[in-house]
Copies of this chain bind each other. A is one copy, B any other.
């Protein structure tokens, strides 16, 4: 059962492929094709279930109308929501999105990037990993339509959209200080990526400014050993340092943290207050509810698409800035 092609239709109605193409692309009147022929072609195409071969169209037009989206991990709530909103927004502009997870593995990330290029995507939306710097720079240098999300490379001039990490951590720290906590720990991961650096810096600044707390208490979890060893690192740290509040720098650290806190039977917030970066069903449903800094996921997605569309010449609304930071939202629950 072969697919119906333009040629098949042309043969059937006795017209040339070009005429059929014009009609099917809505250029019948522009090409002053008779209504009779037009209707005949349209009817035949419908009857035979004609669907254009997009691969051929893409090769010919040089446009695939596909955007490539690379996230860190699609099974992580934050990235899943991001992907979903991006998909919706892209659809408004007639683009489809293909997405893949880099798993924060630079080799995989680079391979995926090449794959997207080979597939001729029209634009790139990327949450870059450590080793992707060169490839991203290449894209930027070649003026490929591109937006980075969640993080970026300070040395590379490329558009990006991320949450205001510094402001977010600041807000969270202020909240803890106001509540009277005096021994606030910060649990993050080993990572040279900018978004983690910004969060850590904001914690350090807050401590430097604080009159009640002089000592910084930072744990950098080494995640390469897997869940169990990560939990061990956290419990060890909590037992040894005995903070009265803890700030988790990412949502998965927060989840690991809750397990750790449970493992050593600390009571939240009596023994230990908890704040986490990123909201999540888990934090909302947890007893007690966990205070979080919610990222403006929809706004990040929408802004990223708008910046990309501008590069593709499809902007409805012109975007002024192409390096954007959006404010996070402090949601106070019972954990603080």
Contacts and interface: CB of A to CB of B under 8 A. Distances in A.
Interface of A: 1, 51-56, 58-59, 64, 74-75, 77, 80-81, 83-84, 87, 96, 98-101, 114-115, 117-120, 142-143, 255, 258-259, 262, 281-282, 285-287
Contact of A98 (B74, B83, B84, B98): B98
A133 to B, nearest CB: 17
A101 B115 contact: no
A1 to B, nearest CB: 5
B281 A54 contact: no
Contact of A285 (B81, B87, B115, B286): B286
B59 A1 contact: no
A96 B81 contact: no
B115 A96 contact: yes
A114 B51 contact: yes
Contacts of A87: 100-101
Contacts of A119: 54-55, 96
Contacts of A81: 75
A11 B68 CA distance: 32
Given A74-B80, A281-B282, A55 B53 contact: no
